[in-house]
Amino acid sequence: MKAAVVVFPGSNCDTDCFHALRDVMKTPVEFVWHKERAFPKVDLVVLPGGFSYGDYLRTGAIARFSPVMESVKQHAAHGRYLLGICNGFQILLEAGLLPGAMLRNKSLSFVCKHVWLKVENTQTGFTKNMKKGEVLCVPIAHGEGNYYCDNETLRELQGTNRIVFRYTSEKGESGEAFNPNGSVDDIAGLMNEKGNVLGMMPHPERASERILAGEAVVADGSEDGRKIWESLLESL
């Protein structure tokens, strides 16, 4: 697998994704600067977290006009994998690659902590190494992760099995107490119809190594983020 991490001005998880792919997963990876129009041929493009263009106007709203986005869209149109994490997810929504929009967290505060994610769909390149109903522990860090879409879209997402991750308890129960931002239907990650574009608020690159396990929160530590990279490696 070959991967590329797009760098927008204000991206700040770009080096973290790069590190997870290159140093942890031993995958060839390169950075692509947002002004680039010439795009490398890769199997996976990651739109990393951060505050692209300062997130002025709305999160991800300016990044969608970035020169690089044309190539990103073409990459996706060819059926190759595209993963948007946090701000990257917000950009995918603004660019119309995924449906819906992002609102401010219900608490109105930025929140950074580990959350539990239930794997709802394992028939994707991003999750094929997981078990259906498996609960992962992965951190979030955002002020605007309150995913919203209209009822019709929601029914379509549900009907076509496109909700990939939901916020739950450690045991996989759903409930308001386990949803950290108020997102519709506890959605933490969703994909497009073809299944090659995934947007998710949690940060798998922050849960890819044992040393970052955050023992204050998770007794046995968590490397659950690795499972996404491992699934992708296996899919390709």
Partner 1 sequence: MTMTQPAVKITPELIADHGITPEEYEKIIKILGREPNLTELGIFSVMWSEHCSYKNSKPILKLFPTQGTRLLVRAGEENAGIVDIDDGLAVCFKIESHNHPSAIEPFQGAATGVGGILRDIFTMGARPVLLMNSLRFGNLDLPQTKRLFRGVVEGIAHYGNCIGVPTVGGEVYFDESYEGNPLVNAMCLGIVSKDGIVKGKAAGVGNPVYYVGSATGRDGLGGAAFASRELTEESHEDRPAVQVGDPFMEKLLLEACLELIKTDALVGMQDMGAAGLTCSTCETAARGSTGIEIDIAKVPRRETGMTPYEVMLSESQERMLIIAKKGKEEVVERIFEKWDLHAVKIGEVKEGHLMRVLEEGKLVAEIPAKALADDGPVYIREEKKPDYLKEAQVLNLDKILEPKDFNDTLKKLLHHPSLASKAWVWQQYDHMVRTDTVFYPGHDAALIRIKGTKKGIAVSTDCNSLYCYLDPFEGGKIAVAEAARNVVCTGAVPLGVTNCLNFGNPMKPEVFWQFHQAVLGMVEACKALKTPVTGGNVSFYNESPAAAIYPTPTIGVVGLLENIDNRVSSFFQSAGDLIFLIGSTLNEIGASHYLMVEHGLKKGLPPRLDLEKEAALQEFLLEASRHRFLASCHDLAEGGLAVALAESCFGQMENKALGAVIDQLDLLHKPSKVLREDALYFGETQSRAVISANPKHKEVVIRTAQNHGVPIYQIGKVGGPELIIGDRIKVEVRELKKIYESSIPGRMAL
Q: Binding pattern to partner 1, positions 96-135, x when CB under 8 A?
A: -------------xxxxx----------------------
Closer residue to partner 1 (CB): 120 or 144: 144
Q: Please confirm, yes or no, whether 86 is among the known catalytic residues.
A: yes
- The secondary structure of residue 131, as a DSSP letter, is P
Q: Please confirm, yes or no, whether 78 is among the known catalytic residues.
A: no
The CA-based angle 209-197-71, given to 5 degrees, is: 105
**H-type helices in the chain, by residue range?**
14-19, 68-77, 87-94, 151-159, 226-235
Active-site choice (34, 114, 142, 203): 203
Closer residue to partner 1 (CB): 152 or 215: 215
Q: Please confirm, yes or no, whether 203 is among the known catalytic residues.
A: yes
Q: Binding pattern to partner 1, positions 54-93, x when CB under 8 A?
A: xxx-------------------------------------
**Cα–chain center distance at 125:** 13
**CB-based contacts of 121: which residues, under 8 Å, 6+ apart?**
127, 132, 161, 162, 163, 164, 191
The single residue among 6, 45, 46, 53 that binds partner 1, judged by CB under 8 A, is 53
Size of the site for partner 1 (CB under 8 A): 39
**CB-based contacts of 136: which residues, under 8 Å, 6+ apart?**
116, 117, 118, 119, 130, 165, 207, 222, 224, 225, 227
Name the phi and psi angles at 215, rounded to 5: -60, -15
Instruction: Kindly list the residues in this chain that would bind partner 1 in the complex (CB under 8 A).
Output: 9-10, 12-13, 15-16, 19-20, 23, 35, 49-51, 53-56, 109-113, 139, 141, 143, 170, 203, 205-206, 208-209, 211-212, 214-219
